Structure 1
Amino acid sequence: MGAQKLALVLTAAGTSARFSSGRGSPAADSVKKEYEALQSPLFPEQKGGTVLSCAADAFLTALDDEPNFIFSRLIITLPPCRGHRAKALKALRASACTLRMLEKASLEPEFVEGGSDRRESVLRALEHLAGGNEPDIVLVHDAARPFVSPALVHRVLELCAEKGAAAPAVPPVDTYKEAEQTDGRIVRHLERSRLAAVQTPQGFYFKPLLDAHRRACSDSKSYTDDTEIWGAYAGDVFLCEGERSNMKITYKEDLPSSPAVSVLPAVPVYRTGLGTDTHRLVENRPLLIGGVHIPFEKGELAHSDGDVLLHAITDALLGAAALGDIGELFPPSDNRWKDADSALLLKAAWERVQKAGWLLENLDCVITIEKPKMLPWRAAVQKRIAGILGCETGRIFVKAKTAEGMGDIGEGKAVGAQCVCLLRLHAD
């Protein structure tokens, strides 16, 4: 199956009354929170961003050169008042980096007048999408959530592509109760382990979501988000891990005190990954380990050049970022990867991980081989890996073990490698 077409709906049709007035009664002259100045958490060196441009940045970054999805349309819902289209366009293009990514993706923002509530606004956006060049998948995201990460976008999108409907969620911190509205009496004690605080972006197959919205339009029920509408008329929604930093701007206090301050987790977000690989050793093949050609009578038998260490590193990085594995990105059934340079494969995978917002803390690698001895080559291997990943050599460590004469590796018939990596979500 080829790449799927994707549309993004950024919902910004609210009045921002609570934002303008603070925690009190709505102000008569509301200021749209989506147009407020905010420096992008993804591009802290880039000045001139807004809440709206920051919300778009994560999607533009995550889907840049994405092989499985084509970012085909960007819809923004706006209040039914004159002047908002120009203001929204100015806010979206406030960051030179955002503007550059929009141009690279050949995306021209499309603006849709919102309705009386969120449900009606999203329906109008979906009907607009149905007018031609329909997407396969649609992501719906609150434009007032500017701190969403590219990694979260990937998680929602990949789960949606697999299941049909997906949303991020975080475990509740407080204990929730169901209460009687008239007198405040608790009528049901909810089991916190079964509860989830659902966020956006929420991803859906487009046509079933449009049909569900059309049916919900006439049922006189009140819906708080699109997962509820999908659940009522289309089927199950599946949850993936959300991010506590993916907060929604409601009041002015929710914004950083200065536009130059970004709001990412106060506690850094880390991920570990594990990669392994094994190849047979045969004559008339070069022995490549960590991108270094090591003189020996045998080398790895593989579809690509067979570099077990670079393959293990590739899988570790992809696994930590939950972005697939080496077999998915570079399937051995595809002749394009016949005798491919594993260094180029690793570099391509690492760029994918970086675009999802991750930085490398360190790699710890083990090569299992009976002969030759690896110690004389360790420094060269570590330097080569650091060069491929564009990091300091001190973040890479490689050690070697033998199999003590046991099994294929011990008998000199095979070589294996393992890698553990630590990634950190980009926050500075």
Structure 2
Amino acid sequence: MSQKSVAVVVVAAGRGERAGSAGDTVPKQYRSVGGQAILARTVEAFVSQPNVSWVLPVIHPEHEQRYAALGLGGDERLLAPVHGGSTRQGSVLAGLKALAPLKPDLVLIQDAARPFVPAALIESVIYSLGAAQGALPTLPVTDTIKRSLDGAEVVGTEDRRLLHAAQTPQGFRFGQIFSAHMRAASVRREFTDDAEIAEWAGLRVVMVPGHRDNIKITHPDDFARAERIISGDTRMETRIGTGYDVHHFTDGDAVWLGGVEIPHNKRLMGHSDADVALHALTDALLGAIGEGDIGIHFPPSDPQWKGARSTVFLRHAGDLVAQRGGRIVNVDVTIVCEAPKIAPHAAAMQGVIGEALGLSTNRIAIKATTNEKLGFIGREEGIVAMASASVEVPRVD
């Protein structure tokens, strides 16, 4: 993409009441983290980027003195702030109108309450606009999402594999998003973010990988996390878990291994689908977080698991890691058998495991070996699988 002018709208017109404790009247964007106001950190994250042409803060009309007290300045790319509207959508439109005379090629729209946006993420959003009309950073959703009509009763479960949490900056071609915002202002609807306006206007919006430190400071507890990010003390520790499983053969025509059905002249005997690879991996994840083994969570005596796909067990283990505030770093599975051949199916296994755990395939290893015709494996009486998993979880002192 040839060099284009890039403007940034920093949306800072909210009152920031949710982030304050009782009696605290300082809006969150003006509160200090690591000795510097959140808004100042956010503005400087963009002013420091050589490919950014202008940065325009949009502030609340009552916050002029607070903004002036930040002492921002010294860079001609930082424009004088403009006043926002009564809603975030109105504030963004005010910023776009103020930028219109400059005729920027691209515009990034950033929440003031995200002060830790990495330079690489900014560059990634800008780069993606070379081929797309809109770009936004996202993170895959790891929690199970329930749907409720009244906030009390569950009526359904969303497919989290299709869900992604949006971050900012959200980037667009200036003329297109300005036009979309002008049209959106004329309808009786409040959009949740600028990407939704772009989608509504028919623009093509692509996703780029977000960053877990690119947090939005919304609630009081977020300030403690922000301080940990600044200090470099995320208070995470690495845990290692291992798993082992074995199943013997019986009459059949296929085996399930790593979530993939492989044609064979036998099948593995078990209460569920007898997928030794996923059983071993599930145990490795459970072991890493001290949650026992697969039999505790899915006892073979329970008829509901009769014939169940082992991806159910694996997703459960992944959910438990996420509920601890952790993340899976990598997993490693070794399958020991004389037959069937594993190598032709390894990539498919990586795909199944990656989908179940929200992992990229470069964090998933599938290996296979024979037992050199020794023992019950060598006699082709069964299959063994071993697995290890590395996870990061918040440290508990």
Q: TM-score, normalised by structure 2?
A: 0.55
Partner residue in 1 for 2:77: 107
**1:257/1:168 CA distance change after superposition, 3 Å:** closer
1:36 to 27, 31, 40: 31
Partner residue in 1 for 2:193: 225
Matches of 1:170 and 1:265, distance apart in 2: 22
Query: What amino acid is the match of 1:219?
Result: V
Cα distance, 1:264 vs structure 2:
5.8
Query: What amino acid is the match of 1:12?
Result: A
Matches of 2:228 and 2:143, distance apart in 1: 31
2:119 to 131, 150, 162: 150
Partner residue in 2 for 1:201: 169
2:140 to 153, 167, 171: 171
Partner residue in 1 for 2:184: 216
* 1:61-94, Cα deviation, whole Å (9 max, x unpaired): 3x22x4xxxx33221111132xx2232133262x
Matches of 1:120 and 1:147, distance apart in 2: 25
Contact 2:47/2:55 (CA < 8 Å) preserved in 1? no
Contact 2:137/2:166 (CA < 8 Å) preserved in 1? yes
Matches of 2:184 and 2:129, distance apart in 1: 21
Matches of 1:260 and 1:184, distance apart in 2: 34
* 1:284-319, Cα deviation, whole Å (9 max, x unpaired): xxxxxxxxxxxxxxxxxxxxxxxxxxxxxxxxxxxx
Matches of 1:3 and 1:144, distance apart in 2: 29
The DSSP-based 3-state class of the residue aligned with 1:163 is coil
Matches within 5 A, 1:262-301: 262=230, 266=234
The DSSP-based 3-state class of the residue aligned with 1:207 is helix
Cα distance, 1:135 vs structure 2:
0.7
Partner residue in 2 for 1:252: 220
Contact 2:17/2:28 (CA < 8 Å) preserved in 1? no
Q: Tell me, which stretches of 5 or more residues in structure 1 are unaligned?
A: 40-47, 94-98, 269-428
Contact 2:135/2:206 (CA < 8 Å) preserved in 1? yes
Contact 1:58/1:153 (CA < 8 Å) preserved in 2? no
Query: What amino acid is the match of 1:203?
Result: G
Cα distance, 1:265 vs structure 2:
8.0
Matches of 2:79 and 2:170, distance apart in 1: 19
Matches of 2:54 and 2:226, distance apart in 1: 32
Matches of 2:13 and 2:213, distance apart in 1: 23
Q: Tell me, which stretches of 5 or more residues in structure 2 are unaligned?
A: 237-397
Partner residue in 1 for 2:53: 72
Partner residue in 2 for 1:126: 96
Q: TM-score, normalised by structure 1?
A: 0.51
Matches of 2:180 and 2:214, distance apart in 1: 27
* 1:378-404, Cα deviation, whole Å (9 max, x unpaired): xxxxxxxxxxxxxxxxxxxxxxxxxxx
Matches of 1:261 and 1:2, distance apart in 2: 35
Partner residue in 1 for 2:131: 162
Does 2:96 align with 1:117? no
Matches of 1:17 and 1:33, distance apart in 2: 7
Matches of 2:193 and 2:228, distance apart in 1: 31
The DSSP-based 3-state class of the residue aligned with 2:47 is helix
Contact 2:213/2:229 (CA < 8 Å) preserved in 1? no
Contact 1:123/1:214 (CA < 8 Å) preserved in 2? yes
**1:125/1:265 CA distance change after superposition, 3 Å:** farther
